[in-house]
């Protein structure tokens, strides 16, 4: 592609994944957010909870000054607490919903334009009940978000049988779910992630084409699925070029081509496309981020 990728997307970074010590809302949040906002490669940043109110205030000020698009990832709020938004136990579902509503409040406070979450675990014999619980919770979230402003709500599609074992899930179920929620709420959509596609046992086309009308946000990352004994097996988001990884320059290029072909990257609406990469072992976060930028640059040249 000869045109700049900036004509097609806002390039983002999932801050709390690139700097995993911040994932629980603590650690060097202010220092690492500052690194991202000073890097003009990035037009968007995805943050999560910031527990310290003074740190939150400083981070908000930096983000307001940065001219960056801000999104809020609530996935850690569920994963670190083991809460399940499609819990068949009503008390458990309400706890998860309250947790996410707190996240929505924080996202609104931080000026986020999008709020993302994931579905929870399920049992095959009660899959339909879990689906209904997820739809109910999602609609409640969408209504709550609408009461606060124009923020979008996105469910991130995860694996359903390998690592996170989330209900959503395979493309056919993701489509049915999105259709059901969108009937009532136009502020809802799906977040797709290149790193999750091999974990879902689908090709890029199989994963994206069926849900093309509902995709509002995209992630780019890598994974290892060949053997459970291999380092970074599962949903670990290792750097591109990681041993036995599924995604590198060619796969990123293929992903971008499909996103263009389905109209997600149309050169008009500039959706957010963020790196979701994580240092493995003693790897340096900043080097892993530089790796991701080089990978996207090479991939875009091949599109």
With beta carbons less than 8 A apart as the criterion, state whether 96 and 78 touch.
yes
In this prediction, residue 185 has a pLDDT band, given cuts at 50, 70 and 90, of very high
With beta carbons less than 8 A apart as the criterion, state whether 239 and 292 touch.
yes
Cβ atoms < 10 Å from Cβ of 102: 13
Query: What local confidence, expressed as pLDDT, does residue 239 receive?
Result: 98
Query: What local confidence, expressed as pLDDT, does residue 1 receive?
Result: 83
With beta carbons less than 8 A apart as the criterion, state whether 126 and 164 touch.
no
With beta carbons less than 8 A apart as the criterion, state whether 207 and 255 touch.
no
**pLDDT per residue over 197-236, tens digit each?**
999 999 999 999 999 999 999 999 999 999 999 999 999 9
pLDDT at 165 over 90: yes
Q: Enter the tokens of residue 228.
A: 């459970």
Question: How much of the chain exceeds pLDDT 90, in percent?
Answer: 99
CA distance linking residue 254 with residue 237, whole number of Å: 18
Query: Whole-model pTM?
Result: 0.97
Tell me the mean pLDDT in the region 28-54: 98
End-to-end CA distance of the chain: 5
pLDDT at 14 over 90: yes
**pLDDT per residue over 239-272, tens digit each?**
999 999 999 999 999 999 999 999 999 999 999 9
CA distance linking residue 234 with residue 237, whole number of Å: 8
In this prediction, residue 94 has a pLDDT band, given cuts at 50, 70 and 90, of very high
In this prediction, residue 280 has a pLDDT band, given cuts at 50, 70 and 90, of very high
Tell me the mean pLDDT in the region 106-129: 98
Query: What local confidence, expressed as pLDDT, does residue 32 receive?
Result: 98
Annotate 14-40 with b (16+ C-beta within 10 A) or e (fewer).
bbbbbbeebbebebebbebbebbbeee
Annotate 207-233 with b (16+ C-beta within 10 A) or e (fewer).
bbebbbebbbbbbbbbbbbeeeeeebb
């Amino acid at each position: 592609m000869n045109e700049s990728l900036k004509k097609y997307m806002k390039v983002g970074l999932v801050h709390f994944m690139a700097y995993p010590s911040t994932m629980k809302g603590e650690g060097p949040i202010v220092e690492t957010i500052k690194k991202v906002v000073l890097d003009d490669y990035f037009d968007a940043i995805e943050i999560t909870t910031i527990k310290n109110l003074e740190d939150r205030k400083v981070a908000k000020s930096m983000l307001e000054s940065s001219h960056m698009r801000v999104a809020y990832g609530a996935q850690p709020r569920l994963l670190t607490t083991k809460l399940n938004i499609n819990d068949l136990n009503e008390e458990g579902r309400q706890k998860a919903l309250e947790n996410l509503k707190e996240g929505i409040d924080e996202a609104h406070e931080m000026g986020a334009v999008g709020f993302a979450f994931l579905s929870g675990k399920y049992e095959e014999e009660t899959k339909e009940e879990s689906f209904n619980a997820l739809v109910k919770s999602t609609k409640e979230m969408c209504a709550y978000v609408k009461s606060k402003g124009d923020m979008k709500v996105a469910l991130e599609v995860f694996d359903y049988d390998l690592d996170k074992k989330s209900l959503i899930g395979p493309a056919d179920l993701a489509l049915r779910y999105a259709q059901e929620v969108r009937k009532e709420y136009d502020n809802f959509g799906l977040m797709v992630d290149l790193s999750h596609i091999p974990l879902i046992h689908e090709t890029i086309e199989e994963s994206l084409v069926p849900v093309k009308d509902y995709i509002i946000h995209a992630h780019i990352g890598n994974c290892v699925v060949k053997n459970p004994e291999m380092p970074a097996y599962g949903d670990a988001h290792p750097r591109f070029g990681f041993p036995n990884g599924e995604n590198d320059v060619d796969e990123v290029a293929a992903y971008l081509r499909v996103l263009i072909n389905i109209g997600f990257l149309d050169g008009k609406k500039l959706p957010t496309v963020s790196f979701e990469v994580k240092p493995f072992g003693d790897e340096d976060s900043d080097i892993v981020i530089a790796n991701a930028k080089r990978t996207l640059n090479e991939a875009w040249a091949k599109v």
